[in-house]
């Protein structure tokens, strides 16, 4: 038997699109975790990024599982951007779940169940298993199709390594896989004997001169050595929540595709936990704690905070990162006030990272990056005006203005956004300050007006 080799199987893929934080590629840190001025879409917030980089490093080493981090700062100071940067820095191998604090109130399940599912989505399990595969270079392939066009196809393939060569008869399922993968002579392939899955590893170096069978994306690999049939270790990465759903009798694995998982009994989770711990002791599985990001953490109530207090003490708990822009405010569900609207006992468990407002120079750099992300050109004068608008209103308003100003410039068939486009959009769309000012001036013309607007609140009776 040859030495066991590992094949990584990624079960979860991510769809990329242009969004509010799609320009973030990482935390923008160097090898010694020092923040660069502008890197990987991140600008400014050097102290916060450096602190987040240390947290990421500890997550990778598995030393910070079950901890809680709070990103606290004013609105539009990059809290969510730092969380997205952490997710990008951790990579696809580490589970990262993102949710808003208000989401738990709109789900058809209890609040604690919603948090429990979110926590278990953030814990990865790398399950190892051995499988027999055939790996080699295709020397010749022959597929005979029935003259009528219907019926089973018959095929033969000759596969070789540097040491041996063997002929195989192909079944109908394998033939379909060969046709789907467009396998031809000279390709280096693997065939999983258990599932019949065919994977193309690349093109053999011996066929490098076959220009008719190569393209710009062609990958050349060496012809495999040793025996054709080998035993390899395959690693499947899944989350604890996926294992919960598959083993829940009332839902089954189809719930993974429908999204309707419902509530899962605690007994099922306890059995899965004990089984996973057993696999871990036997070396069949590894637990990979990830990150759960909860935005608008002040929207959680006292019941959720109490549940998180207990959940973080579990052996299999992810790193929980929360973000809030609130100061001293009421804890939801109580009459008590607390910093950030979070109970003192939970705050005591947290590592708190503060974000600070961006400088004018940093705002200008962020707007320039967003212009590149949205594939639009903006001249320097327009960029200066938009930076000024951002400092007077908010960064979010300025970023949204880029998209609308780009549409205005396209309408006049210009490839570049100028000052007039920015001014026109600024006059068409109000920011929060101008909208509040208009409401104060014309409040009498609106329905259900409180006469004490801006003063002490009073109740108004309507008959």
Q: Can you give the residue ranges of every domain in the chain? A: 24-94+290-357, 128-234, 360-443
Residues belonging to the chain:
463
Q: So what's the architecture of 24-94+290-357 in CATH?
A: 3-Layer(aba) Sandwich (3.40)
424 CA to centre of own chain: 36
Q: What percent of the chain has pLDDT over 90?
A: 9
| Per-residue pLDDT at 303 exceeds 70 | yes
Q: Which helix (H) or strand (E) holds 135?
A: strand 123-144
CATH assignment, 128-234? 2.40.50.360
The pLDDT, as a whole number, for residue 77 is: 86
47 CA to centre of own chain: 24
Q: How confident is the model at residue 15 (pLDDT cuts 50, 70, 90)?
A: very low
Do 24-94+290-357 and 360-443 have matching folds?
no
Across 65-69, 255-259, 311-315, which has the greatest mean pLDDT? 311-315
The pLDDT, as a whole number, for residue 250 is: 56
Assign 177 to helix, strand or coil: helix
Backbone angles phi, psi at 167, to 5 degrees: -100, 140
Residue with tokens 């006469």: 451
User: Is the CATH number of domain 360-443 3.30.750.80?
Assistant: no
| Per-residue pLDDT at 14 exceeds 60 | no
The pLDDT, as a whole number, for residue 260 is: 53
The pLDDT, as a whole number, for residue 261 is: 57
Q: How confident is the model at residue 330 (pLDDT cuts 50, 70, 90)?
A: very high
- 200-213 mean pLDDT: 70
* Helix, strand, coil abundance in the chain, percent, nearest 5: 35, 25, 40
| Mean pLDDT estimate for the chain | 80
**Top-confidence residue, 67 or 140:** 140
The pLDDT, as a whole number, for residue 288 is: 81
Across 110-124, 167-181, 243-257, which has the greatest mean pLDDT? 110-124
Per-residue pLDDT tens over the stretch 407-459: 999 888 888 888 999 999 999 999 888 888 888 888 777 776 665 545 544 44
């Amino acid at each position: 038997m040859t030495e066991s080799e590992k094949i990584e199987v990624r079960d979860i893929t991510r769809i990329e699109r242009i969004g509010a934080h799609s320009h973030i590629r990482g935390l923008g840190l160097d090898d010694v975790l020092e923040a660069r001025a502008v890197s990987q879409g991140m600008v400014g917030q050097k102290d916060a990024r450096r602190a987040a980089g240390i947290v990421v490093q500890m997550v990778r080493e598995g030393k910070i599982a079950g901890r809680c981090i709070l990103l606290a700062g004013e609105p539009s100071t990059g809290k969510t951007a730092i969380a997205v940067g952490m997710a990008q820095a951790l990579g696809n191998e580490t589970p990262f779940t993102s949710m808003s604090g208000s989401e738990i109130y709109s789900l058809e399940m209890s609040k604690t169940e919603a948090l429990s599912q979110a926590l278990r989505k953030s814990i990865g399990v790398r399950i190892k298993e051995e499988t027999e595969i055939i790996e080699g270079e295709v020397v010749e392939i022959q597929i005979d199709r029935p003259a009528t066009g219907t019926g089973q196809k018959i095929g033969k393939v000759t596969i070789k390594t540097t040491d041996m060569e063997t002929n195989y008869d192909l079944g109908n399922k394998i033939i379909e896989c060969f046709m789907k993968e467009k396998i031809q002579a000279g390709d280096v392939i693997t065939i999983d004997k258990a599932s019949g899955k065919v994977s193309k590893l690349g093109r053999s170096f011996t066929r490098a001169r076959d220009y008719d069978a190569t393209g710009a994306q062609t990958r050349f690999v060496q012809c495999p050595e040793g025996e054709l049939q080998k035993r390899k270790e395959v690693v499947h990465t899944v989350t604890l929540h996926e294992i919960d759903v598959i083993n829940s009798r009332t839902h089954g694995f189809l719930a993974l595709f429908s999204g309707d998982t419902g509530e899962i009994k605690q007994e099922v989770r306890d059995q899965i936990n004990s089984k996973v711990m057993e696999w871990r002791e036997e070396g069949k599985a590894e637990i990979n704690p990830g990150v759960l990001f909860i935005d608008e953490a002040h929207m959680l109530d006292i019941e959720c905070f109490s549940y998180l207090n207990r959940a973080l003490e579990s052996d299999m708990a992810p790193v929980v990162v929360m973000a809030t822009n609130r100061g001293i405010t009421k804890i939801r569900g109580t009459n008590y006030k607390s910093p950030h609207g979070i109970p003192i006992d939970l705050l005591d468990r947290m590592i708190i990272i503060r974000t600070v407002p961006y400088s004018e120079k940093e705002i200008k750099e962020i707007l320039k990056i967003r212009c590149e992300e949205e594939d639009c050109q903006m001249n320097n004068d327009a960029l200066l005006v938009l930076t000024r608008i951002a400092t007077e209103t908010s960064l979010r308003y300025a970023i949204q203005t880029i998209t609308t100003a780009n549409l205005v410039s396209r309408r006049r068939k210009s490839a570049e956004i100028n000052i007039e486009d920015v001014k026109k959009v600024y006059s068409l769309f109000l920011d929060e300050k101008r909208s509040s000012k208009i409401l104060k001036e014309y409040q009498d013309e609106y329905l259900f007006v409180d006469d004490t607007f801006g003063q002490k609140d009073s109740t108004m009776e309507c008959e």
